[in-house]
Structures are given as structure tokens and as C-alpha cells.
Chain A
Amino acid sequence: MAFLSELLHRDVRDHKNSFIGKLRDVLIVPGNGNGEKSEPYPRVVALAVHQRGHAEPLLIPWEGTEDLAGNKIILQKPTQTAFQAHGNAIWLARDVMDKQVIDTNDHRLVRVNDLELGKVGTDYRLINIDIGGRGLLRRLGLEDFAESIADRLARAIPNRMVAWNDLDFLPSGSLRVQVAREHLSELHPADIAEILEDVGPSVGAELIRHFADEKLADTLEELEPDFQAQVLEKFTHERAADIVEEMEPDEAADLLNKLDPERAAEIVQRMEPEEMAEVQALLPHHADTAGGMMTPSFLSVSPGITCGDAMTQLRAQPDARDAQVTYYVYVTDANHRLAGVFSLSDLVFADPATPLEDIMHRRPKRVQVNSSRDQVLEKIAKYNLLAVPVVDWRGALKGVVTADDALEEILPADLKIRLPRIFR
């Protein structure tokens, strides 16, 4: 075991024990350097040694025979050639030490206080990242002192380590290494969103740029509207349109309303006609009304049919799978007027020959497109609805407001309108 902070600045001597220079950095290559599938713990491939009078460090390839444990590093064999630093190498002191990285296990941002190398066979491998107070104390040269105090108080200084394998990097100017990791994109969008809010929109956008459009849209939906807009600003019109298409139409409309009007128009023009139409229908509504809160995707069937036919109708609708609320199915006539509602479970358990009217509630609770936010909330709360249908003045069904979305509307007043986000 050796900590990088303790290795740096140590003397490096050649096999004849004559002084070469001081250790400046340790290089690893994620994966094993041959482009094969990445190993969990990358091997040290070279040492960067600072020589007096040279600006650039000497790169000595790791031969597997040196020992890092002593208080100086002695090379066992004469060095043949200098290590060729290819673009993929990570310089641990320069690229990882002191940087913020993502602990994908706990999905949070941590700061690298030290790096722990372990001997495996003849190799040294990067094992852990020290993110705790112990690492800080070691860097300050106070570890022994703190330990003696802790001993006296009969306490232990906690050791906080994260396995190298569980880390993901923030994009940054200095680290352009492609680390073959899929960790971050595997996290839940809400967890990713929290990390984004910690790093701010610029770094955040880079972090998720390589995500698939759908995953990116899911992540954006977890962010507050202002922050969504700031992140979306970092993408081209074309990509932004692809992302917005994947968002729920109501979220997409709210987001577009937050953008600079010209920019929003550019994005909408690049959307697929179908998604564009959905979003455009929502845009004119004020965000604080039912029209602004609703989503146009819901399940509906026509009246006067049997339960079996209704099942067939639902299956035949291409968009039905994307509906946000699948608990309620609405019955709408030829003019889209809301005639009734029934639950999907009633439909599933009903005999296929039963007329739809038998399982349908004829007077569904509803709100108007221009109903205020409070009216919507009241309806949902009073009647314990999972979603409330939104109708226009003719009674035509325009969309639904889900309890989820309604809940989000209450939260901001309490939680979100406060400080600059970075302090939250």
C-alpha cells in the first residue's frame, strides 16, 4: 500500500543507485493500455520524474520490478527507452488529485484528497480514492499528530475511501481522457440531476452530452425550469430539438417558454411535426393555469362500444404506450368532448362483451383550460385523483394534469425560490 501524496517528491534512483530526479507524477492507463476491456484497477504504467533543469519530466516506463514502499524509489533495471505518453494516459497527480469526481455508488460529488496504490503481483495498481478527513490531514502533514490526539480521546479518525472503479470524471479542460465508463448514465435521472446542480450548467451540460436523447431528456425533466434552460443553452439547435422531442410535452412547453423566444422558435422548427404540434398546442397557456400544467398524452376511447372493443382500440393507438397516466381511460365522442372515464383495471377485469357504459363514470371531475393552479390542486386533492382531465369551453378534452405535476407546482413556493442554486 502506498499513498500518492507520500510518493510524490521522493528521490528516484537508477539501478546503480545514482540519483535521477524527484517523482513528480504517476501515470496509469484506464483499461490495460491495449484498448481491451477495462480492468477494475488500472496498473501504473510509468513514472514521471522531474530532473533539475528540465521543464518536461522524464517518463520512465514501469518494469514491474520497482518497489514504491521504501522512502526512495530505486529502479531495478536500466531503462531502455522513455515511456511514450499517449493521449490516453492519466497523470494521477495532475488529472485526478484534488479534482472533484463523481462517486457513482453514492451518486454525489466528492473531492479527491489522496490516491491509494496497492501492490498486486509485481504491479502497482490504483485501488482507492481517499475522500475523507484522513487524506486531508495526511496532505497537511498532520495525520500522525491528529491520530495521537484521536487516540487520547479514544476515537478513530474515520477513513473514507471510494473504489476507483466506482468513480466517474467531470469533463474538464485538463482531462480529455476517454474513460470507458457507463456509470453515470446508469444512474437514476433524479440522482444525475442532483450532481448537475452541484457542478453548474456549463460543466453539467458536458457531463451529459454523450447521453442518448431520451436519457438526457429524462435527466432534464428532473431539473428546475431555469436550470433546464441554462443547460439546454449549451446544445446546438438541432440537438436541443432532439432532446425536447423526448421530453413530456408539458415539460417541453414550460422549458421552451423559459428560453429566449428566438432560440425557442429555432428549436421548435427543428422538431418532428408530431411533437411540434403537441408542444405548440401547450405553449400559449400560462404556466400557472391548467392549460400550462397539462400534458396532452392520455388514453381515450370512443363511446358506445364494448369493453373488448375498447381494449382493441387502446392497443391500436400508437401513442398509448407513451401516456403519462395509464390508470384512467377517458371516453370522448367524435368532437373530442369528454363523455366519461373508467379505470384501466375495471376494463381489464370486465367481460369483453360488457358495454363500456356499464363500467364508465358519466360525469368525470374536470377543470377548464384556464382554471387556476389552485383550482386544479383543489380538485385533485378533494377527489383523490391521480390525474384530472382538462377541457376547453366546448367540453373537449385537451389534456390531463397528473398529481405528480400538480405536486411539483406546490413545492417551489416552499423549497425552491430562495438562494442562488449553488448554495442549496
Chain B
Amino acid sequence: MKTAFRFTRRPYRRFAMFFAMLGPGVVSALAGDDAGGIAMYSIVGARYGYQLLWTMVIITILLAVVQEMTLRLSVVTGKGLSDLIREEFGVKATAVAMLTLLVANTAVTISEFVGIAAAGELLGVSRWVAVPLSALLVWFIVVRGNYKRAERIFLALGFVLFAYVFSAFVVQPNWGEVARGTLVPSLQFDSKFLLVLIALIGTTISPYMQFTLSAAIVDKGVAPSAYRNALIETLLGVILSCAFAYFIIVATGATLHARGIYEIESAEQAALALAPIGGALAEFLFAIGLLGASLLAASILPLSTTFAICQAFGWERGLNQSWEDAPIFYGIYTALIVIGALIALIPGVPLFLIFLLVYDLNGILLPILLIMMLRLANDKRLLGARVNGRLANFLGGSTAVILIVLTVMLVVSPWVNF
């Protein structure tokens, strides 16, 4: 009877395999390239040209270390990050961690709706229409709709942003300068620079990614034996995400910075970076991509945040529950979307300043979660022989230390001349 039959291989399976490649590692890392991410990288490229490219190299390595730690923790324990924090550190530390997550992610949610407002206006739709409509859309898709299909549509829209990569080549930048910016570190110590640097780290390594990755790993039930494959996939995601960021910086550096536009104040300006390949359509391309990226993040970020919080405190959660059974779950979720949309509607809200401040907040809060993760990853009772090695501890620890030092410098910078 040996192999007396064959399992039918259906044509869609091959297609599914492709999406399986785009697993949690890739998706959670790409999610970092949302509205705020694009804005941040554009700000960096416009203001500093290629000067800060070297930081992306370091950030890539640090992000890889943090994501690997998250992956290992979730694969070995079979538990999500908020689970682990609660179980190992107790209620008080959990309250701190969850408050951190809530504040950081509320800010990011605001930035997604600001992104939607900006994209809408580029497409000639008033923010008074675009924002409330998107908020409703996002809420309904998640609570009542077909999330899978929506996710694919948003992803497809977001892929338009790959135009940045082509743009970076078409514009034919001075590759010598690009290489120098990538390899030779240069630093300034004024508060403007520090704000940008912290935000750059905060947007690339945002806590949201780690929580999403660990939730997805637990959901899939990745076995310790499958760790290697999951790791490859995760690192692929890290590299893709950071490479994407890198090319946005190159493209904006070669267009905006080169033309003397150092301060981005509007989405129209940011869209100029796509002009080399988009021409007159640059604004349209930028708007579509921004809309997709923002909608994708706005539909999953509030939900995963709410979920992590409810899980940590043991509150009823999940969309299978009714409003009556899970009032806190639906309450936080709805509040996040409503607050995000309302703040994005404030007239005359300075678009790019919001992005910058949101990710500064993320960067400043990141060490709190990072230190907890490092402690978890060094716990022999949890991971046995698979606790952090020296290198992971050094790099993970450095990330926290760098951010803390930068934050302190930022706070004292108005009074001290470095």
C-alpha cells in the first residue's frame, strides 16, 4: 500500500505557498513601513541627504537582534510577549509595559489616520470625508467584514511604494556619496538631530512589531524544530523592511535634499521623491501607496494592541466575544480608532511634526519593553539552553542604552552645547 495514492495538489496551493513565504516575520517587519515610517525616512532624506544612511545599517542589525529574540521567546515558550511579561514580572511591571504599549500605539494610530488624511487630500478628497470613512471602514472590516481580502487589497496598494526603489535608481544619485553616507558615521548633537535620530530608531524598531510577531508565531504554533526556517523568514523581513527604508532615504536625498528642500512640510513635497519615475503621476502614486500602508496598519494595529493588553490582564477578548462579554476589549479597540481619527481631524495639524513626535515617543518608550525582553530572553527557566548569547545581550542592551542616552541628551540639549 506504500504511497498507493497521491494527495491532490491544487493549483492554488502554489499561490498559497508564495503567501506562506510572506509569513509573520515579513509582514510584521513590513508593517513598520507605514505612514509614519515613510514620513520619517522622507524627513531624514530631505534634511540630511545621505548623511544618516549609516544609521540604517546599524538599525538593521539591532532590529534583527530584537526580532530574533522575540521569535525565540515565542517559539520556545509557545506564548506571546504580553503573556510572558505578565507571567514573569507580575501586575505592576505589566501595567507599566501595557501603558507604554498603549501610549505608543495610540500615537502610531493617530499617525496612520494623519497619513490617510494626507493621502485623501492628495487625491482631492477632503479629510472630513476620508478620515471618518476610513475609521468606519477599518472598524467594520475587522469586526464584521472579510479581513483577509481587505488585507490583500491594502497590501497591494502599499506595494505601490516600491516605486521608491526604482526612483532611487532612475534619479541616478551620486553613488559614491551614497556609499560614503552608508559607511562613514557622522553625528551632530543639536536637539533637531537627536529628535530625528530617536524617531528613526523608534519607527524602524517599534514595539508594535514585536507584539505582532509573537502573536503570529503563537497563532501558527511554530515548533522549536521549525525555528531555523522561521528565523530565515524573520530576517528576510528585517532586511526587506530596512532596505525599503534605505531606498526611501536615498530617493528623497537625491531629489528633495539635492534641490534644497530640507524641511518637508506637506505630503506634496514628500511625493516629489517619486517624480523621477512617476512624473506628473508622482503625487497620485504617493497617495495610493500611503493610503494602502496607512489602512493596513490602522486595521491591525489597534486590534493587536487591544489584544495584547487584554491578554496581559486576563480580560475577555477576541471578536468571537459579544460586546457584553468583552466590554473592555471592544471599548479599548473602538476608543483607539476614534481617538486616532479625531486627532487627525484637528484642522491645521502640522502633518510631519506629528509623525516626528509620534516616533520620538516610540523611541523613548522602547527601552522599557526592550529591557523586559532582555530579561525574559536571559531566563533559564523559560528558555533553558536557548537563553541569549553574549552577542545578543550586548546588541540588545546597546539598543536600550543608546536610546536612553539619546533621550537624556535630547532632554538636556536645549541647555547644553555638546
Chain A residues proximal to chain B, CB less than 8 Å: 97-100, 108-113, 131, 136, 139-140, 172-174, 198-205, 230-231, 233-234, 256-257, 261, 264-265, 268-269, 273, 276, 280, 283-284, 286, 417-424
Q: Report which of A140, A199, A257, A419 forms a contact with B8, defined as CB distance below 8 A.
A: A257
From 61 to 108 in chain B, residues with beta carbon under 8 angstroms from any chain A beta carbon are 77-80, 83, 86-88, 90-92, 95
Q: Chain B interface residue count: which class?
A: 35 or more
Contact residue among A110, A113, A273, A423 (Cβ-Cβ distance under 8 Å from B307): A423
CB distance from B276 to the nearest CB of A (A): 38
Q: Which of B77, B147, B220, B221 meets A418, CB within 8 Å? A: B147
Question: A98 near B91 (CB under 8 angstroms)?
Answer: yes
| CB-based nearest A residue for B328 | A133
When C-beta atoms are compared, the residue in chain B nearest to A194 turns out to be B320
Chain A residues with Cβ below 8 Å from B146 are 417-418
Q: B219 at interface (Cβ–Cβ under 8 A)? A: yes
- Further pairs besides A100-B314, A230-B221, A424-B320: 18, Cβ < 8 Å: A100-B83, A111-B314, A136-B91, A140-B95, A174-B382, A199-B78, A201-B220, A230-B220, A261-B6, A280-B5, A284-B5, A418-B145, A418-B147, A418-B319, A421-B219, A422-B215, A422-B307, A423-B303
| Shortest Cβ distance from B95 into A: residue | A140
- A sample of 17 inter-chain contacts (CB < 8 A) reads A112-B314, A136-B313, A139-B90, A200-B219, A205-B221, A234-B221, A234-B223, A261-B6, A268-B5, A283-B7, A283-B8, A284-B5, A417-B146, A423-B303, A423-B307, A424-B319, A424-B320
Q: How far is the CA of A273 from the CA of B222 in the complex (A)?
A: 32
Q: Which of the residues B7, B77, B319 comes within 8 Å of A173, measured between beta carbons?
A: B77
Judge whether B91 and A420 touch: CB under 8 Å.
no
* A205 surroundings in chain B (CB, below 8 A): 221
Q: Which residues of B contact A231 (CB under 8 A)?
A: 221
Contacts of A108 in B (CB 8 A): 316
Does A202 lie within 8 Å of B314, measured CB to CB? no
CB contact under 8 A between A417 and B148, given known A173-B381, A173-B382, A269-B1 = yes
Complex contacts, B219 vs chain A, CB 8 Å: 200, 420-422
Residue of A nearest to B150 (CB): A418
For A256, the chain B residues whose CB sits under 8 A away are 7
The 8 closest A-B pairs by CB, nearest first: A111-B314, A201-B221, A202-B78, A139-B91, A418-B147, A261-B7, A422-B219, A200-B218
Measured CB to CB, the closest approach of chain A to B314, in angstroms, equals 2
Contact A233 B8 (CB under 8 A): no
**Are B147's CB and A419's CB within 8 A?**
yes
Closest chain B CB from A415 CB (angstroms): 9
- Expressed in whole angstroms, the Cα–Cα distance for A317 and B326 within the complex equals 50
A-B contact count (CB 8 A): 115
Q: A201-B220, A202-B78, A422-B219 are in contact. Are A283 and B142 (CB under 8 A)?
A: no
Taking the nearest CB of chain B, how far is it from the CB of A229, in angstroms? 10
Cβ-defined contact, B1 with A98, below 8 A = no
| Chain A residues with CB below 8 A from B222, complex form | 202
The listed residue (B9, B90, B304) touching A98 by CB distance below 8 A is B90
Tell me the complex Cα distance, A89–B42, Å.
58
Q: Which residue of A lies closest to B303 (CB)?
A: A423
Residues of A within 8 A of B215 (CB): 420, 422-423
- The complex places the Cα of A261 from the Cα of B10 at a distance, in Å, of 12
A422 — which chain B residues lie within 8 A by C-beta? 80, 215-216, 218-219, 307, 318
> CB within 8 A of A200: which of B78, B148, B318, B384?
B78
Q: In the complex the two chains form, what is the Cα distance from A140 to B95 in whole Å?
A: 8
- By a CB distance below 8 angstroms, the chain B residues around A100 are 83, 314
- Whether A113 lies near B314 (C-beta < 8 A) is yes
Partner of A261 from B9, B90, B92, B216 at Cβ < 8 Å: B9
Q: How far is the CB of A114 from chain B (nearest CB, A)?
A: 9
Q: Give A321 to B274 CA distance when docked, in angstroms.
A: 70
- Asked if A419 contacts B5 (CB within 8 A), the reply is no
> Which residues of A have CB within 8 Å of B316?
108
Bound together, the chains give a CA A205 to CA B304 distance in angstroms of 24
Complex Cα gap A202–B350 (Å): 47
Q: Is the CB of A264 within 8 A of B86?
A: no
Contact A203 B307, CB 8 Å, known A417-B146, A422-B215? no
> Which residues from chain B contact A286 at a C-beta distance below 8 Å?
8, 10
Contacts of B384 in A (CB 8 A): 173
CA distance A108 to B325 in the complex (A): 12
Q: Does B3 contact A (CB under 8 A)?
A: yes
Report Cα–Cα, A46/B295, bound state, in Å: 55
Identity of the chain A residue whose Cβ is nearest the Cβ of B3 in the assembled complex = A265
Q: What sequence of 0s and 1s flags, for each residue 345-360 of chain B, a beta carbon within 8 Å of any chain A beta carbon?
A: 0000000000000000
CA distance A41 to B112 in the complex (A): 52
Residue of A nearest to B219 (CB): A422
> Does B2 sit within 8 A of A, measured CB to CB?
yes
Interface flags for B40-57 (1: CB within 8 Å of A; 0: not) read 000000000000000000
A264 touches B7 (CB 8 A): yes
List B residues 293-340 near A (Cβ within 8 Å): 303-304, 307, 313-314, 316, 318-320
> Which residues 170-222 in B have Cβ within 8 Å of A in the complex?
215-216, 218-222
Nearest-neighbor residue (CB-CB) of B91 within chain A:
A139
Complex Cα gap A288–B134 (Å): 35
**A301, B142: Cα distance in complex, Å:** 51
- Contact check, A423 vs B318: say whether CB atoms are below 8 A apart: yes
Cβ–Cβ < 8 Å partners of A280 in chain B: 4-5
**Distance, CA A211 to CA B218, complexed state (A):** 22
Write the nearest CB–CB distance from B306 to chain A, whole angstroms. 9
**In the bound complex, what is the Cα–Cα distance between A320 and B316 (angstroms)?**
43
Q: How far is the CB of B335 from chain A (nearest CB, A)?
A: 17
Give chain A nearest CB distance to B371 CB in angstroms: 19
Chain A residues lying within 8 Å of B2, measured Cβ to Cβ, are 269
Please name all residues of chain B whose beta carbon is closer than 8 Å to the beta carbon of A421 when the two chains form the complex.
219
Collect the chain A residues with CB atoms within 8 Å of residue B145's CB. Answer: 418
A204 CB, min distance to chain B CBs, angstroms: 8
Which residues of chain B from 1 to 28 have a CB within 8 Å of any chain A CB? 1-10
Tell me the bound Cα distance from A257 to B78 in angstroms: 26
A76 to B83, CA, bound (A): 39
Chain B residues lying within 8 Å of A233, measured Cβ to Cβ, are 221, 223
- Which chain A residues border B307 with CB–CB below 8 Å? 422-423
